Structure 1
Amino acid sequence: MSSTEGKHLKAELHKLECHFTWELNKEDLDLTDLLNRLEQHVDFNLGGKVGLAQTYNSLGYVKYHLGSPQDALVFLQKCVEVTREYREKDCDKWLIVPYGNLAWLQYHMKCFSECESYLEKIRGIAQKFPDSALGLHHEVIGEKAWALFKFSRKYYNQAKECFEKALEQDPMDPQWNCGYAFVLNRIESRHSSAPDSPTIKQLRQAVYTNPDNDELKAILALRLAQSKEYDEGEGLMEEALEGSPNAPNVIRYVGKFLRAFGSVDRSIALLKRALEKSPTSAFIHHQLGLCYKSKTTDLKCKGSAGTEIQRLRSQCIYHLDKATELKPGFVIAMTELAVQYSEDGKLDRADELFQQTLQIAKEKNEGLQQLYLHYAEFQQYRRRSLPTAITYYMECLTIDEDTTDGKKSAKHLSKINERQSSKSPGSGRHQRISLRKEAKNAGP
């Protein structure tokens, strides 16, 4: 191939709509974790044949970046095969993305004639549908939305916009409704779960268009319970569990539902059963850790013996530690693990983990408010460093004062202010200025 031909080929490749052109930056991705999650999707057949084709497509891209181009080729060819099987005659638009990935992969493997062959297939599809650019078809926009959603939480807002565009063209498509519900559930605050919230409305629509999707039912059940709609939530939870009694992705939400609303032992039993099916699930380990934390808190409130509390806390730490080991950078689990080390009296280990988590959370811009609150409490009550505590309470409050964590920080600062006011003369305003000075002198 001449240099002129090579430039022309590369220029055409850059115009394609596929994973290789969607700016899925490697620095934003945890490829090993992504690979594990995608492989679990295949193992548990999540999403049926439609989901399987999407997963094979993504696996091809991930395998290429992990240095296994031949494995990537196999997965992309499987994607084409499954798509043709379930779409039958109406599959052309659904093949735009996998053909684009295959063209790029063959180019990178220096198989230029095969690359040209896939480009020719895409040109044929474009000629068949001349009224719009390939990237404007809802089949392509929706595939892009799923990729953005699955690959990194940094892309959630972009995924949301893509799902909305896809649904404008096909409002009843089950896959786009499902994906839009998932991404809204991740984006919308858990503390704003009203019965008429956008997330609950979309979850209802997604369940309507995906009546056999038990994961959607379990998520909707949890959301309804958070908005005090307990009876409907419990009914959906039982329906989801009956339909998918061994699916970890369903049991994870059902377990969370049961833990949040009083059935902690039943939640532990379900989650342990799920762990047998999916032993490398960081999320299930995380939920188990939170269950044991709940039991520990309950026993402390009842004034039970310290030995039982210690046993339960050890279980909590074990599962949280496994969660962070299986999913490096799991900020929420790392934060809770640091808190539990603090509760266990291992202050140096807790401080070290807090510092690691702060660095990761700032890089990912994830979980910072809750982390600031817990670290401030650690500094105030364990390290007895009031200036540092004030610094992080203020950081927490700055993010959003109307959330639960924001309100807790405001309450802590108010109590500190009251204590300082009672010890020395000066107006409340003077004391608030003093708090800010202390925080500034302590540094972030």
Structure 2
Amino acid sequence: MEFMIMIFLSRSNTPGDLLKEKLDQLQCHFTWRPQKETIDLDDMRFRLQYSLTWRVKYKAALHNQLAFVNCLQGHFEEAIENLKEAEKILRENHKDDFERKSIITYGNFAWVHYHMGQLTEARSYLDKLEVICKPLSDGPRYTAMIPEVYGEKGWSLLGSGAEFYEESKECFAKALEQDADNTEWIMGYARALSRLESLSGTPESRDQSQSVKHFRRVLELDPDDAVAMMLLALKLQRLRQNVEAYKLVEKVLQKTSDLPHVLRYVGKYYRQRGYVVKAIKLLKQALELTPHSGFVHHQLGLCYRRKLKYTHSRSPRKPEFQQRAELIKLCKYHFEKSFEHRQRSAIKPQLDFADICITSGEYSRAEEIYGRLVGLEDIRSENIQNICLEAGLFELNQKKSETNAVSLFLKGAKIECNSIEREKCCINLERWADRKLIINAHDSKALGIKAFLYQLDGIRDKATEYFEKALEFDPGNEEYVSALSQLRV
């Protein structure tokens, strides 16, 4: 027995295992939370490649993240080339603080060589990191939590999906503690904050003007930042400060009218303002430059859906009928393209696609989309609630399945996230329960749902009353018994 344990221990302490223990201490893309199972790799690769083509800023960080994606997809040589390019950019642009800037790049180098089985090369990068980090930190040997590390981690998390927005915001906040006037970190913080403000269940959504002051600060330090101008314009538009928003958009178009990452925001601005034809023109220009952009495809789909609302003819003989059919076709095409490589992250485009399928009577296609979305795990609570709401309405209105609809509404309502979608799930549950109880005052399921809703609102006496009534007609129901026990405690 002792001999077998010794063999096991010797196997678990191979050079590769010992090296991995050290690699796990690093701060780089391979040790941050987003992994292969939680991000859409093809979509991220497309976005990074386009950013490298069209953007001047942050190219070293973009190469770093692309190296991570290429490595996860088994493209090791491409990953090494990405990292060499990142190192070259850092040497050229940051001669005085190259070592501080290279911590993440060298960490990624070590991990890629490890995945390639090149353990000697991986160790050489660990040695470099130990030399760099020793004077910068009293903590781990191979890394240092300095603003450059926090900042690049923030950008990586921000681009990895909505589940990581909170952590991204905290990273930028940490970077800014030591470097308060760094426009890169202020911009990252503003973008993370703005995205959280747009999610109905977050604390940030209660005051959607917080990001405005940070976008303004970016423009104080860098008046020519066109992306900051457009993101500020979109926030002001949302806050109904339309005059200032319009002036910013006009200024952007005078300065920069040919960059896709600017055009797409201008297109969104005009779509939201109701100038759909102008929006389509701008978004098509952006799409020519970035044909795989899920964002642009989604915006175009929304434009065509808006036009669809004004075509009502059901007669095949009228030109409007053909126009309607063409608009439905365009909506479906662009919505589907927008989530082609984003099955996990593009929840709203998939719900929009299902909605268009319902409009065109393709219920089986809509059912397929809802079925896949309901099965997703490890996504934001607001997204799960939105899926439950839309899928529940489909079951209720198109499939006439009250049982399935109630089950979905309940799932959404039970998630502890006070979003608009949760509120709508509760409204649909209440309507259903009230309708049922008018027909049959002894319906235990309807009584149980009323009890749950009262419990959710904190009205304990009514919740207790309705759970007790539900148990009269469904004695032994474990869910009701458990809820009553909690209420009585």
TM-score normalised to structure 2 length: 0.78
Following superposition, the deviation at residue 357 of structure 1 comes to 1.8
Percentage of identical aligned residues: 31
* Deviation sequence 1:369-403 (CA, Å, 0-9, x none): 22222222222222222333333334444447964
- Please say if residues 259 and 291 of structure 1, whose CA atoms lie closer than 8 Å, have aligned partners that are also in contact: yes
Q: For the residues of structure 2 that align with 1:314 and 1:5, how far apart are their CA atoms?
A: 58
Which residue matches 1:220? 232
Secondary structure in 2 matching 1:146: helix
Q: How does 1:385-400 map to 2 (within 5 A)?
A: 385-399=401-415
User: How many residue pairs end up in the alignment?
Assistant: 432
2:85 paired residue among 64, 78, 86:
78
- Please say if residues 390 and 435 of structure 1, whose CA atoms lie closer than 8 Å, have aligned partners that are also in contact: no
Give the counterpart letter for 1:96 in structure 2: I
2:245 paired residue among 220, 233, 258:
233
Which residue matches 2:220? 208
- Please say if residues 401 and 407 of structure 1, whose CA atoms lie closer than 8 Å, have aligned partners that are also in contact: no
- Please say if residues 301 and 332 of structure 2, whose CA atoms lie closer than 8 Å, have aligned partners that are also in contact: yes
Give the counterpart letter for 1:356 in structure 2: R
- Please say if residues 341 and 349 of structure 1, whose CA atoms lie closer than 8 Å, have aligned partners that are also in contact: yes
Matched, 1:356 2:372: yes
User: Which moved further from structure 2: 389-398 or 235-244?
Assistant: 389-398
Q: How does 1:306-325 map to 2 (within 5 A)?
A: 306-325=321-340
Q: For the residues of structure 2 that align with 1:13 and 1:408, how far apart are their CA atoms?
A: 47
Provide closer, same or farther for how the CA distance between residues 12 and 359 of structure 1 changes in structure 2, counting only shifts above 3 A: closer
Q: For the residues of structure 1 that align with 2:448 and 2:137, how far apart are their CA atoms?
A: 68
Q: Which has the larger radius of gyration?
A: 2
Q: How does 1:320-399 map to 2 (within 5 A)?
A: 320-329=335-344, 330-360=346-376, 362-365=377-380, 367-399=383-415
* Deviation sequence 1:107-134 (CA, Å, 0-9, x none): 4444455444433332332345466764
Which residue matches 1:146? 155
Q: For the residues of structure 1 that align with 2:163 and 2:274, how far apart are their CA atoms?
A: 33
Structure 1 unaligned blocks of 5 or more: none
Q: For the residues of structure 2 that align with 1:131 and 1:407, how far apart are their CA atoms?
A: 49
Following superposition, the deviation at residue 10 of structure 1 comes to 4.4
Secondary structure in 2 matching 1:349: helix
- Please say if residues 197 and 208 of structure 2, whose CA atoms lie closer than 8 Å, have aligned partners that are also in contact: no
Matched, 1:173 2:182: yes
Q: For the residues of structure 1 that align with 2:417 and 2:34, how far apart are their CA atoms?
A: 33
- Please say if residues 195 and 224 of structure 1, whose CA atoms lie closer than 8 Å, have aligned partners that are also in contact: no
Q: For the residues of structure 1 that align with 2:421 and 2:439, how far apart are their CA atoms?
A: 29
Q: For the residues of structure 1 that align with 2:312 and 2:290, how far apart are their CA atoms?
A: 32
Give the counterpart letter for 1:299 in structure 2: T
Which residue matches 2:165? 156
Provide closer, same or farther for how the CA distance between residues 232 and 68 of structure 1 changes in structure 2, counting only shifts above 3 A: same
Provide closer, same or farther for how the CA distance between residues 13 and 400 of structure 1 changes in structure 2, counting only shifts above 3 A: closer
- Please say if residues 99 and 122 of structure 1, whose CA atoms lie closer than 8 Å, have aligned partners that are also in contact: yes
* Deviation sequence 1:285-307 (CA, Å, 0-9, x none): 11111111111123349x99444
Provide closer, same or farther for how the CA distance between residues 109 and 246 of structure 1 changes in structure 2, counting only shifts above 3 A: same
User: Which moved further from structure 2: 275-284 or 192-201?
Assistant: 192-201
Matched, 1:34 2:44: yes
Structure 2 unaligned blocks of 5 or more: 1-12, 454-469, 475-489
Which residue matches 2:480? none
Q: For the residues of structure 2 that align with 1:18 and 1:431, how far apart are their CA atoms?
A: 51
- Please say if residues 434 and 446 of structure 2, whose CA atoms lie closer than 8 Å, have aligned partners that are also in contact: no
Provide closer, same or farther for how the CA distance between residues 190 and 147 of structure 1 changes in structure 2, counting only shifts above 3 A: closer
Secondary structure in 2 matching 1:325: coil
TM-score normalised to structure 1 length: 0.86
- Please say if residues 433 and 450 of structure 2, whose CA atoms lie closer than 8 Å, have aligned partners that are also in contact: no
* Deviation sequence 1:348-385 (CA, Å, 0-9, x none): 2211221112213x443462222222222222222222
| Cα-Cα RMSD | 3.3
Q: For the residues of structure 2 that align with 1:321 and 1:276, how far apart are their CA atoms?
A: 17
Following superposition, the deviation at residue 41 of structure 1 comes to 1.0
Higher helix share: 1
Higher relative contact order (CA 8 A, sep 6+): 2
Q: For the residues of structure 2 that align with 1:95 and 1:344, how far apart are their CA atoms?
A: 53
Secondary structure in 1 matching 2:98: coil
* Deviation sequence 1:76-126 (CA, Å, 0-9, x none): 111111011111222221111112222333344444554444333323323
Provide closer, same or farther for how the CA distance between residues 103 and 306 of structure 1 changes in structure 2, counting only shifts above 3 A: same
- Please say if residues 187 and 218 of structure 2, whose CA atoms lie closer than 8 Å, have aligned partners that are also in contact: yes
